[in-house]
Amino acid sequence: MHKNQGPVYYGDYLELNKLLDTQNPLSKKYGDEAHDETLFILVHQVYELWFKQILHELNSIKKIFSVEKVQESVLSTVSSRLERIKKIQTLLLGQLEVMETMTPMDFLEFRELLVPASGFQSVQFREIEILLGLSTSDRKEVDREYFLGRLNKQDQERLLKIEKEDTLFSALEKWLERMPFTFKEDFDFWKEYQACVEDMLCGDEITIFSNVANMTPKALEIQKANLQSTRETFDTLFNEEKYANLVKEGKRRLSQKATLNALFVLLYRDEPILTLPYTILSHLMDIDENFTTWRYKHALMAHRMLGTKIGTGGSSGHQYLRDAAENNRSFIDLFNLSTFLIPRSQRPSLPQELRDEMNFNYKD
């Protein structure tokens, strides 16, 4: 515990004189100050401060997951820090409502002074995306060279350096791959799971054909095609070649082993030892969803402010932001796991020895 070596003054500790002297509207330099430019500056500065805190949390979590063996005792810390990020995201979304108190005509009073600056150049937000596993080469809505070309050399080098390092995504993937519960000498969970899935699909097939009299030929073909598609989708989980092809095509990001173990966590999340891993996976999906929501609301705000004008950074304004919201998600593989969930009542029964290993057993 650190001890105070002398008196501390509130303003000095927070360096308020420095902080509050950084709102300098450009419009003031070229004539009458545009009243709403101060709001515009403050909102974006606050965004960057919160981005700094999010990076602080993400880097600490990555460090925890980067060791070869992650102790169960630290998972509560990971969970609480992810929860903090979610709370911060709530504030980020709320700030858009403050920004929307500025009308389009108020914005036009100073907008041209900002060219070619753009939120596109927020390096901290790009760092967040990279840490979450979305590299500059993974972005689907804009060319990588154009993306990096909007940044100065120092910021380009900073992002390229970070891209060479491990990410939270890669550290999480390795953590999931090490999960020990799905294969024992006398128990192969995935063989049991595949048998349960086959029983479920056979039941669906029986249901379809028992209702043939109530369906048109076209409806029957659709039902049969859907069933076949479901079988093929489940097959991609276990066929290494098919899974590898999906990764190559960019349709899967997590490794096959990590995906299977994440699915096991979702299927048996009520087991005590899996409660925190499930909570962590849920938090990551929430964070991904919140950033998607933030991007989408940002796109709507840009449309409201600019109509179909080109953005100050040279992008297609709200169209670019909307595409970014739809196409750039870090943990979409976790969302897709719901495809492979089966009812609790149809899950494979775990051997008692394994259940004991996954529970907290107290002896008298």
Task: Answer whether 100's CB lies under 8 Å from 133's CB.
Answer: no
Q: Which amino acid is at 168?
A: L
**In this predicted structure, what is the pLDDT of residue 306?**
81
Q: What is the mean pLDDT of the chain?
A: 89
How many other CB atoms sit within 10 Å of the CB of residue 302? 20
- Please compute the mean of the pLDDT values over residues 204-226 and round it to a whole number: 89
The model's confidence at residue 16, banded by pLDDT at 50, 70 and 90, is very high
The answer to whether 27 and 113 have CB atoms below 8 angstroms apart is yes
Confidence of residue 228 (pLDDT cuts 50, 70, 90): very high
Segment 229-250 mean pLDDT: 93
Residue 312 is labelled as binding a ligand: yes
User: Annotated binding residue at 111?
Assistant: yes
Give the rounded percent of residues in the chain with a pLDDT score beyond 70: 92
- Closest to 336 in 3D by CA, of 273, 276, 245, 258: 258
139 marked as binding residue: no
| The predicted structure's pLDDT at residue 119 | 78
Structure tokens at 127: 């760092």
**What is the pLDDT confidence band of residue 5, given thresholds at 50, 70 and 90?**
confident
Return the pLDDT at 332. Answer: 94
278 is written with which tokens?
């499930």
Top-ranked range on mean pLDDT: pick from 16-30, 113-127, 341-355: 16-30
pLDDT per residue over 126-181, tens digit each? 999 999 998 877 766 556 676 777 888 999 999 999 999 999 999 999 999 998 88
Place of tokens 């304004």: 317
Which sequence spans correspond to the domains of the chain?
Answer: 10-357
What's 324-353 look like in SS3?
Answer: HHHHCCCCHHHHHHHHHCCCHHHCCCCCHH
**At 363, is the secondary structure helix, strand, or coil?**
coil
Per CATH, the architecture of 10-357 is what?
Up-down Bundle (1.20)
Spatial separation of the C-alpha atoms in residues 135 and 330, rounded to whole Å: 10
Please give the residue that has the higher pLDDT: either 171 or 313.
Answer: 171
pLDDT of 182-204, one tens digit each? Answer: 888 788 999 999 999 999 999 98
